[in-house]
């Protein structure tokens, strides 16, 4: 099997999750590599994506697993030559058993620009820190979903829970904008981490 890390930007951040999956199946067919299909009445290509991110959020770190006998060599180049411009493969790993890309990715690091500088300690020390969840239409206490929060010069970095328990960065940004002010803030997902903050390489070496 092949696990890839890919970037979704340059317009592709506006492609919804299911359509992204459709693009992957088309890319695989364009690549002309063998791939396994599910059994059953309507076989589908065995392609697994990491959990969906918010529409419009640029990401430099998404993961996708292909159930294919194909090898790592040349995969990245062939993939990028066959994929829509906004979906770029960055790393390729050959894995022996299935990686739970949806379940085992548990946090993500976001780069947030355009929020005025503030003391992050105010939030980190506030156990009742909450954001407004637009979907649920209610205020939610999310302090333990914030793993890290720090400034590097004017750029704010936030490592937030992702997957089954999630904190959407746009909800956080909304709150920060309201409290501390800013100017047209933008968010980019820089890194996705596996169990307890591991990179893909670290995670794969533990298995």
Partner 1 sequence: MKTLDEILLTVERPSRYIGGECGEPEIKKEKFNYCICFPDVYEVAMSNLGIRIVQEVINRVDGAMADRCFAPWPDFGKALKENGIPLYSLGLKMPLNEFDMLGFSLQYELSYTTILYMLDLAGIPLLAKDRGQNDPIIQGGGPCAVNPEPIADFFDLFVIGDGEDSMRELAELKLKVTDRAEFLQKATEIKGVYVPSLTYPVYDENGNIVKFEGKKVEKAFCLDLENAVFPSTQTVGNIEAVHDRAVIEVMRGCYRGCRFCQAGFIYRPVRSKSVEKLTEQACGLIRSTGFDTLSINSLSTSDYKDLKPLLKSLKENLPNFTKVSLPSLRIDSFDEFYAEEARKNSLTFAPEAGTQRLRNVINKDISEEDIKFGAQKAFKLGYSLIKLYFMMGLPTETEEDIIGIRRVIETIRSVYAENPKRLRGLRINVSLSTFIPKPFTPFQWEEFASEQFVKERLEQVRKHLFAKGVTVSWNDYFVSELETVLARGDRRVGKVILNAYKNGCIYDSWGEFFSREKWDSAFLAEKVEKQTYKAEIPENAILPWEFIDVGVSKKFLLREKRNAMNERVTGGCHTGCKGCGMEGRCTLV
Contact residues: partner 1, CB under 8 A:
10-12, 14-16, 19, 22-23, 25-30, 32, 55-56, 82-86, 184
CB of 14 to partner 1, least distance (A): 4
| Helices and strands of the chain, counted as H and E runs | 5, 10
Nearest approach, Cβ of 74 to partner 1 (angstroms)?
Answer: 18
**Nearer to partner 1 (CB atom), residue 37 or residue 150:** 37
CB of 102 to partner 1, least distance (A): 22
Name 116's Cβ contacts closer than 8 Å, sequence gap at least 6: 180, 181, 182
Nearer to partner 1, 29 or 178 (CB): 29
Q: Is 39 exposed, middle or buried (0-12, 13-18, 19+ CB in 10 A)?
A: exposed
Q: Please, what is the minimum distance in Å from the beta carbon of residue 103 to partner 1?
A: 27
Separation of alpha carbons 196 and 161, rounded Å:
10
Six-digit token string for 82: 């066959």
User: Is the Cβ of residue 34 or residue 121 nearer to partner 1 in the bound state?
Assistant: 34
Cβ proximity to partner 1, 56 vs 121, nearer residue: 56
Residue 83 beta carbon to partner 1: minimum distance, rounded to whole angstroms: 7
77's torsion region: left (phi>0), alpha (psi -120 to 50) or beta? alpha
Contact between 29 and 105 (Cβ < 8 Å): no
Nearer to partner 1, 82 or 199 (CB): 82
């Amino acid at each position: 099997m092949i696990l890839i890390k890919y970037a979704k930007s340059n317009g592709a951040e506006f492609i919804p999750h299911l359509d992204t999956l459709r693009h992957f199946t088309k890319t695989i067919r364009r690549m002309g590599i063998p791939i396994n299909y599910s059994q059953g009445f309507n076989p589908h290509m065995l392609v697994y994506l990491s959990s969906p991110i918010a529409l419009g959020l640029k990401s430099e770190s998404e993961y996708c697993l292909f159930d294919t006998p194909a090898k790592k060599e040349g995969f990245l180049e062939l993939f990028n030559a066959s994929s829509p411009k906004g979906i770029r493969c960055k790393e390729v790993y050959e894995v022996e058993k299935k990686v739970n890309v949806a379940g085992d990715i548990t946090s993500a690091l976001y780069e947030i620009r355009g929020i005025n500088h503030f003391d992050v300690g105010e939030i980190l020390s506030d156990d009742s820190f909450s954001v407004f969840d637009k979907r649920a239409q209610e205020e939610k206490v999310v302090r333990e979903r914030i793993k890290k929060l720090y400034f590097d010069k004017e750029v704010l970095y936030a490592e937030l829970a992702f997957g089954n328990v999630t904190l959407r960065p746009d909800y956080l940004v909304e709150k920060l904008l309201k409290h501390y002010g800013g100017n047209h803030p933008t968010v980019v997902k820089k890194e996705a981490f596996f169990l307890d903050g591991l990179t893909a390489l670290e995670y794969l070496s533990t298995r």
